[in-house]
Amino acid sequence: MTTLTNEKIIEIAKDVATANNINFASVVTAPAIDSAGSEAVEIKFLLTPGSSQAIMGETSARTVSQLIQKLADAGEGRFPIVRYEEQVASSRS
């Protein structure tokens, strides 16, 4: 099974997110196990505070779909599990 490097996965994920106007601070990956017990890769977009609402609907879904598509086209054999986590705004003192 072909596996891309974390750096390549993050590069593809950032390209897809940017193309879909997603405001993210960073992208991180982690190994995961899919429902069939096979290796998977978790890709988490750390969204800037307050940006979750803006991507509800087509933007979020389009990003997930395109990321799955582009990773498959690049030969990634692991299924990507895409997650979104919004950063908490830092409070002012």
Q: Is 52 in the site for another protein (CB under 8 A)?
A: yes
84 lines the binding site for another protein (CB under 8 A): yes
Residue 85 engages another protein in binding (rule: CB under 8 A): yes
Give SS3 for 76.
Answer: coil
Residue 7 class from Cβ within 10 Å (0-12 exposed, 13-18 middle, 19+ buried)?
Answer: exposed
Quickly list H helices, 1-93.
Answer: 6-19, 58-73
20 belongs to the binding site for another protein (CB under 8 A): no
- The contact set with another protein (CB under 8 A) reads 34-36, 40, 52-53, 55-58, 60-62, 64-65, 68-69, 71-73, 79-86
